[in-house]
Amino acid sequence: MSTFTDSARSFIYSRAPRDVTEGFHKDQEKLLIERVNVILLLGWTLVPLFGLIDYILYPMHFNRFLAYRLISAGCCFLLYLANRKWRSGSINLYLGIIAAYIVGFTIIKMILETEGLSTPYYAGLNLVFLGMCAVLTVRVQFLAVHSIILYLIYLASVLIFGRTGSVAISIANNTFIICTMGIVLVASHVGYRLRCKEYLVRRELEETQSRLKGYSENLENLVAESERKYQVLVDNADESIFVIQDSVIKFPNPRTIKLFGYSAKEMENMPFISLVHDNDKIMVAEQKERAKRERTISISTFRIVRRSGETVWVDMNAVSIEWGERPAFLIFLRDVTEEKMMEAELIQAQKMEAIGTLAGGIAHDFNNLLMGVIGYTSLMLLNKSEADRHYEKLKNIERLVQSGADLTKQLLGFARGGKYEVKPTDLNELIGKSSEMFGRTKQEITIHRKYEKYLHAANVDRGQIEQVLLNLYVNAWQAMPGGGDLYLETNNVTLDAAYARLHSLMPGPYVKISVTDTGRGMDQATQQRIFEPFFTTKEMGRGTGLGLASVYGIIKNHGGIINVESEPGKGSTFSICLPASQGQVEAKKIQPVEIIRSTETILLVDDHEMILAVGKEMLKALGYEVFAAQSGEEALAIYREKGDGIDVVILDMIMPVVSGGETYDRLRAADPGVKVILSSGYGIDGQAAEIMARGCSGFIQKPFSIGELSGKIREVLGRPIKG
């Protein structure tokens, strides 16, 4: 389409090849002659008839004006006879132009003899411009030149020889004339462009039809000459090729047989429409009828159903041909299922990215709210013994806050992966422990494990992947309400460049985890939406719809991929591929959280008043001296004044005007040895990871308890407790 548009534009502005221009002029010559005939016919018929206007408006000039009109009409009649005799485009064009000048001069003469600039006869010039520009099939530049010349002759004549009359009327008359000229010139230009485009379309269509006809004839000749050549050409083609005649398939090549899954004998005389997916049959039938009617190539994309019941997307090119002296279609089919999958994955990725950004923002804001709750709860618990009647209630609040924090971790896992501690991990061991724990609570499920003996380690955050596995276990359990089998399998796999490129991955070694259930399965529509946030097949109140969305986000942010295969009634298989690691798996160390008090000085920076207030109280409860700042600028001012006495800065990452990252950089510039703990409702990835890479001392994610805060401060200070 772009090539045609460029050709049309070049053609219109005289940059087309000479043969195209000459062809167009020759094509338009007959039309030009006919239209000049129209102009001349109008000239020698309408010019005298308009004498009735003279009789009504200017009866005193009627006889003289009638003479002018008859002379003008006679000239037009003679030109009409000449136009019918001569058949040369340029001569015929100038006959029409001469007629326009003759009629125009006649009208100008009558204008001069009536009221000059105020005469109503100016409308006659409008008719001349309309007739010349709207009827003649030539470039607008040519018509514009002659229109302007005629108008200037009129204007000069009335200004020099005409009566002055009313200035307002003369301005109005000239405005109407100029507007009429402009409108008819634009209309003429549009008409000329349309004729150019129509000519190019016809030319290209003729060339295409010529090529198709030649191809069809050559193909028929080759078949007639040698059956062996036909076998080599068609049987080894990578596309499915066959003929449809009388609505049935004939002469299918081996690729067609392989594509549909039927034998050659079964396919002979099989109605083609019976192989088309039910939802696409009407569209395919319409395409077939159009190709038959227009005898052009018909291109369409639709689904076919193989003998096995599998649905396959194909591109079809249908060419209307004569086969055995009867109409038929030569069909080319190409399997584009993989391309459709890539397109669907791209759309899914874009959708998930957009919703992920929203989910991450919600999680961040919610973590800030939870920070206030857990902070004040920690402070209250600090002064309560287990025997206190409110102790258990406060612990319940703490547990509920932790549940809320777990929910936001799922949101962050979906949005940005939420990878807190990425290191080489033994996935066999992780799957074993997580499935053992799950199996103890769901004894109606029989778990089958099949592990790769020498499985590669994978660079993952253990907590996040454990969350992924538990989500998949729960999903499988919910798909088997009456109990069933859960199959867990691990393998070392290598993704080649083609597959990796298809899924936007890096080629190389991967660890594959397969989780298979024997549950009710899913249809295609559910599979397409299964990883969307807040999409759930559970009844109202039984699920948030964040589980599999979180799984998708975590795996994607680990540089991996997750796929699902399922059929209704046949269970589901979730397959995960994670990049293999060359690192060694380290034993996990568990350190108990204890509250450590000290007396250092801390600068707390956060733009939320509530978080600033609760943080200040938590730090004071731990024995620290606290300076509080509600913005980056305020923090920098305090540090410039009291920096020598400040031991640690706890800095919020997301702040207006001066962000946490910029504040950190300016603190480092003022004091390269400053110790900063970065605090955020987001995980330690993205912007936080960049700040940590620039030398930040530590990171703590909101919401955090007083114990976690005290431990992080001592970890960063790395020196004996004061006081």
> Domains in the chain and their CATH numbers?
2-203 (no CATH), 230-335 (3.30.450.20), 417-581 (3.30.565.10), 601-717 (3.40.50.2300)
- Say yes or no to pLDDT of 444 above 80: yes
Give the pLDDT score at 356: 66
What is the Cβ-side half-sphere exposure of residue 582, based on CA atoms within 13 angstroms?
Answer: 1
Give the pLDDT score at 7: 44
Give the pLDDT score at 381: 77
Reported as a pLDDT band with limits 50, 70 and 90, residue 415 is low
What is the Cα–Cα distance from 144 to 411, expressed in whole angstroms?
67
Which of 548, 470, 476, 562 minimizes the C-alpha distance to 518? 476
690-716: average pLDDT: 88
Q: Which residue has the tokens 């987001």?
A: 682
Give the pLDDT score at 251: 82
Give the pLDDT score at 428: 92
CB 300 within 8 A of CB 283: yes
Give the pLDDT score at 9: 45
Give the pLDDT score at 427: 92
Q: How far is CA 672 from CA 151, 629, 665, 719, in A?
A: 82, 20, 9, 19
What is the Cα–Cα distance from 135 to 370, expressed in whole angstroms?
78
**Top-confidence residue, 237 or 143:** 143
The model's pLDDT over 327-353, given as tens digits with 9 standing for 90+, comes to 888 888 888 888 877 776 677 667 666
- What does the mean pLDDT of the chain come to? 80
Give the pLDDT score at 272: 87
Please state which of the ranges 59-68, 209-218, 539-548 shows the lowest mean pLDDT. Answer: 539-548
Kindly report the number of other CB atoms within 10 A of residue 272's CB atom: 21
The model's pLDDT over 68-86, given as tens digits with 9 standing for 90+, comes to 889 988 898 888 888 888 8
Kindly report the number of other CB atoms within 10 A of residue 563's CB atom: 13
- Say yes or no to pLDDT of 410 above 70: no
Give the pLDDT score at 636: 92
- Say yes or no to pLDDT of 544 above 50: no
What is the Cα–Cα distance from 78 to 13, expressed in whole angstroms?
35
Query: Cβ neighbours of residue 8 under 8 Å, at least 6 residues apart?
Result: 193, 196, 197, 200
- Say yes or no to pLDDT of 411 above 80: no
The model's pLDDT over 650-687, given as tens digits with 9 standing for 90+, comes to 998 888 888 888 999 999 998 998 999 998 877 776 78
The model's pLDDT over 565-593, given as tens digits with 9 standing for 90+, comes to 988 888 999 999 999 988 777 665 545 45
Percent share of the chain, pLDDT over 90: 13
278-290: average pLDDT: 82
Give the pLDDT score at 414: 54
DSSP 179-204: HHHHHHHHHHHHHHHHHHHHHHHHHH
The model's pLDDT over 218-259, given as tens digits with 9 standing for 90+, comes to 877 776 666 677 667 777 777 888 888 888 888 888 888 888
Q: What angle do CA 378, 379, 381 make, to 5 degrees?
A: 65
Query: Cβ neighbours of residue 209 under 8 Å, at least 6 residues apart?
Result: 295, 296
CB 122 within 8 A of CB 176: yes
Give the pLDDT score at 15: 56
Give the pLDDT score at 349: 64
CA terminus-to-terminus distance, the chain: 81
**Top-confidence residue, 19 or 185:** 185
CB 354 within 8 A of CB 347: no
Give exposure, 27-55, as e/b (b: 16+ Cβ within 10 Å).
ebbeebbebbbebbebbbeebbeebebbe
Give the pLDDT score at 197: 83
